[in-house]
Amino acid sequence: MEQTEYRVAYVDFRGRISSEGVEFIRRSGEHRTGFVMRYLNALGREGWALSGIHPLRRSESSYFILQRSTGAEAVSDTEDAPASEGSEG
């Protein structure tokens, strides 16, 4: 039987995503939607799929719930997050 693993990411559309201690920062001049899409595409290449969004009230932030199968093709836990990125500019 195939199993599923989950990940939760805190997404602040103003320019920061945090998941499991790793920060993903919006680049200077990058649009908010492009920034989030870049993050989701990076996780998608590792087998993660967005399965839910929990918006936070009165905020530009949400929790994204992601999932992937834990088959042989899954990347190990130490490699499953996009590398931490610093802000530019």
| Residues 14-68 pLDDT 10s | 999 999 999 999 999 999 999 999 999 999 999 999 999 999 998 899 999 999 9
51: Cα within 13 Å, side-chain hemisphere = 13
The count of domains in the chain is 1
- Look at residue 45 and tell me if it is in a domain: yes
How confident is the prediction for the chain on average, in pLDDT? 85
- Look at residue 51 and tell me if it is in a domain: yes
pTM of the predicted protein model: 0.73
- Res 87: pLDDT: 41
User: By residue range, what is the domain housing residue 46?
Assistant: 30-62
Q: What Å distances lie between residue 75 and 13, 47, 58, 59, 80, CA to CA?
A: 27, 8, 36, 33, 6
- Look at residue 52 and tell me if it is in a domain: yes
- Look at residue 71 and tell me if it is in a domain: no
Burial (CB < 10 A; 0-12, 13-18, 19+), residue 64, is: buried
- Look at residue 54 and tell me if it is in a domain: yes
- Distance of alpha carbon 74 from alpha carbon 44, whole angstroms: 11
88 pLDDT more than 70: no
- Look at residue 46 and tell me if it is in a domain: yes
